[in-house]
Amino acid sequence: MQNHKNPCRLKLCRWLDEILGLGSMVRVKSASASKITAASNTDNIAEIKDTHTSELVIALCGPIGSPIQDVAKAFKECLEKSFGYDYAEILKLSRQIEKLSGSAPAGNEYTRIKYLIDKGDELRERYGAGVLAELAVSEIALDRQKHKKKDGLETFEPRRVCHIIDSIKNQQELDLLRLVYRDMVYVVGVYAPQSRRTKALEQKGMSLQQIYTLIDRDSGEEFAHGQTVRDTFPNADFFLRIDSNSGSQVKARVERFLNLILGVKVMTPTYSETAMYAAASAAGNSACLSRQVGAAITDTQGDVIATGWNDVPKFGGGLYAADPNGDPKSDHDLRCWNKGGKCYNDDEKHLIAEMLVNELVGAKTIVEADKEKAKNAILANGKLKNLIEFSRSVHAEMHAIINAGKNGVALGGSKLFVTTYPCHSCARHIVAAGISEVYFIEPYRKSLATKLHDDAITEDESDMKKVRVLPYDGVAPARYLKLFRVPPDSRKSKGVLLAIDPRHSQPRFDKTVEALPTLEAVVVKRLREKNLIEAG
């Protein structure tokens, strides 16, 4: 059959016509007519590159009392003075709250912050959990409109500007910014030890009771439209742990991050960044139905000596792994997903709740008709809900310690990097193994580590007589390869190191300016539909 009579080929051509908007144009061109010369191809590439923008969006996230404003100012100063940015604008989401809800009361800092949290929650409940980030996007879009090309067309000049968002408080805000700006947005987690945060809030005239009330609300409110910094913070691209009042410390850390994302200098990962990346990579081996956790142990020199992840142990040693022959239902892999398809820890907790309810009915404490209600109440109780003792899995920290032992490595003075805060069960093994420091990314609300082992474990950075459990600091594992791997020969020219002027450096992952107004317009349209901004 000839090609032009092939029905599949004709359907494909029509489909391509539709999605490319070709209408009634000729569907099949001759080979000679469809050739694109090397020169025109080069012209196309150059034209597209001309639309790339040096714009950056930096979103800050951190628990209340952390020096977020200091970090925002440091980014602004470094970008404008050292990296040649025309300007870096700080967008405070609290101002958006006040624009819509009225100014916060002056004078009392506790009342002011509580007002902003209350009104922010009300706005998220009414207009969606990501509404404050939507308003920040509209501000960026408005700023872009001021720099539209004066050619009668909807075209925009690539710009060397940065918008710094102070600060995002929940996952929906983060998700929206990443959907619109993709690799152009960088989320920076800013953290200071609680002792420093408490002191900073005390200096503003707050009592300890007021401080702890605000810290609890900011960390994780129990409703979808509330602030959930504890859950949002771990998803940052870069973590800044600020453990002193030194402005030079903040500036040095900010400059390093900017050098990385703008590709100015030859930058390699720290020992901590490599170790946490190894831990995050190890987590990918886990088939746990609850969460994937990874761990890595470094020696006193900072070299990784063992890794581990959470999963079910197998006879003969080690953990179950994927069948080497690719059979997903092989007897070689009897992890929970392949052995009943259920979480055995959750199953056991349901059995305990059932047993307790039956005992209460038997003792005539409750009536038979209330059994289901009582069972649900027990399962919802934090103590039972948080039990982890019935899991089949070896935890990542334990697996890493076992692997180090199998290799005959002593762990005295070593450091543990783990993607999630250690549970109280792992805590005792960490202490017994002689590990001196633990670094984590995700918090773990169920952990009783410091409560049960306050004699040996501390979250106080200055206490060197206990195992210190500290938030991780550095490039997030998810950004590790993107930031530290560079194209071949991109660092040299004719055998000589390339010298890059910071004032003319380009973001490692640029984006065409043509795409941004379209994506921002979607957000702006939604805000107009909600009557939160004026049309025009």
Token readout for 369 is: 């008709």
Asked if 79 contacts 85 with a C-beta cutoff of 8 angstroms, the reply is yes
Q: Which pLDDT score, from 0 to 100, does residue 23 have?
A: 46
Q: Report the SS3 class of residue 81.
A: helix
- Cα–Cα distances in angstroms (integers) from residue 211 to residues 60, 94, 404, in the given order: 21, 19, 42
The H or E element that residue 483 is part of is helix 477-484
Q: Which long-range contacts (CB under 8 A, 24 or more apart) does 288-292 make?
A: 288/336, 288/393, 289/336, 289/337, 289/342, 289/343, 290/343, 290/345, 290/391, 291/420, 292/419
**Bridge partners, 295 (sequence order):** 308, 418
Blockwise average pLDDT, block size 10, the chain, 536 residues: 50 50 43 50 55 89 92 97 96 95 92 94 93 96 82 72 94 95 94 87 93 85 72 93 79 94 92 98 92 95 96 91 68 80 83 88 87 84 72 94 93 96 92 96 82 92 92 95 89 87 86 83 93 81
Other CB atoms within 10 A of residue 427 CB = 24
Pairing of the two strands 496-497 and 492-493: antiparallel
Cα separation, 187 vs 59, whole angstroms: 5
Q: Which pLDDT score, from 0 to 100, does residue 77 have?
A: 97
Q: Which pLDDT score, from 0 to 100, does residue 26 have?
A: 39
Q: Which pLDDT score, from 0 to 100, does residue 25 have?
A: 40
DSSP, res 336: G
Cα separation, 404 vs 303, whole angstroms: 13
Q: Which pLDDT score, from 0 to 100, does residue 33 have?
A: 45
Cα separation, 312 vs 285, whole angstroms: 11
Instruction: Give 125: exposed, middle or buried? Use CB within 10 Å, 0-12, 13-18, 19+.
Output: middle
Q: Which pLDDT score, from 0 to 100, does residue 206 have?
A: 94
Q: Report the SS3 class of residue 453.
A: coil
